[in-house]
Structure 1
């Protein structure tokens, strides 16, 4: 394994562990204008995403729930990434994140801190854990009525 690959894996693990132990924006938001539930029945991950959207802008976003470290960390990172973005920017990021996590050669984009989630691609069974929060956000901001599922 190259030193660069080893460094990336170490960074990936550090960020995942940090966001799992200390998830950002982890609280219910009773005044949310948009909400959705997500569930991965295969591993038991469950979450609810809350957002306050005004004039097409995601002013605040949070989540509650329980799941594995990857699921929790992904939700935490997601809330930081989309706060202050337009709904369209969040939808574009959802599409690009899904591609980064599922495609061998995703389109080049600067994902910033979200780049650490690319390591999940090496573990296909965990991709659904990493994408659950993103599918749930998508359902919240598009006001889809169904529970987001990764199965």
Structure 2
């Protein structure tokens, strides 16, 4: 597949997650973590809801507003981390961070699925914060949850 076709496919994946977000909403559980994050540079705001039991992310949802990169990344992230152990989700976040910054990352380590569509954001440094907002919210929530345990 040519680079142009791959780029077009990635754009379609991003727009699909933006127009048809997965896991949009709130979690109805007393055991949920709620993390509010924003990107003052561009106005993206997200509220991430995580249900973590026995060190596994049982559910992940989000609400918020922002650009297509920010909201599609939140949609992809919530899909990817559901069912993962906290350690594996944090590791995935590290790999995502490396990928989005244009650093080398081990593609064999974890299947990133649709998340790889965001790889091109690395060419636009001003958009990196948009793409990482939901991921940073997840990291913050997990760290805070672990410090209370």
Cα deviation for residue 36 of structure 1 reads: 0.8
Cα deviation for residue 46 of structure 1 reads: 0.3
- Asked if the contact 2:102–2:123 (Cα under 8 Å) also holds between the matched residues in 1, the reply is no
Q: Which runs of 5+ in 2 are unaligned?
A: none
1:36-115 to 2 correspondence within 5 Å? Answer: 36-109=35-108, 110-115=111-116
Distance 2:13 2:66 in 1: 16
Distance 2:14 2:56 in 1: 27
Alignment deviations for residues 75-106 of structure 1 (CA, whole Å, 9 cap, x no partner): 00000000000000100001110000013433
Cα deviation for residue 128 of structure 1 reads: 0.8
TM-score (norm 1): 0.88
**Which residue does the alignment assign to 1:118?**
119
Match of 1:142, SS state, is: helix
**Which residue does the alignment assign to 1:26?**
24
TM-score (norm 2): 0.89
- Asked if the contact 1:56–1:87 (Cα under 8 Å) also holds between the matched residues in 2, the reply is yes
Distance 1:20 1:70 in 2: 8
Q: Which runs of 5+ in 1 are unaligned?
A: 145-151
Q: Tell me whether 120-129 or 29-38 shows the greater mean CA deviation.
A: 29-38
- Asked if the contact 2:100–2:119 (Cα under 8 Å) also holds between the matched residues in 1, the reply is yes
Cα deviation for residue 121 of structure 1 reads: 0.9
Name which structure has the greater RCO, CA cutoff 8 Å, separation 6+: 1
Cα deviation for residue 7 of structure 1 reads: 1.4
Aligned residue among 12, 15, 35 for 1:14: 12
Equivalenced residues, count: 142
**Which residue does the alignment assign to 1:135?**
136
Match of 2:61, SS state, is: strand
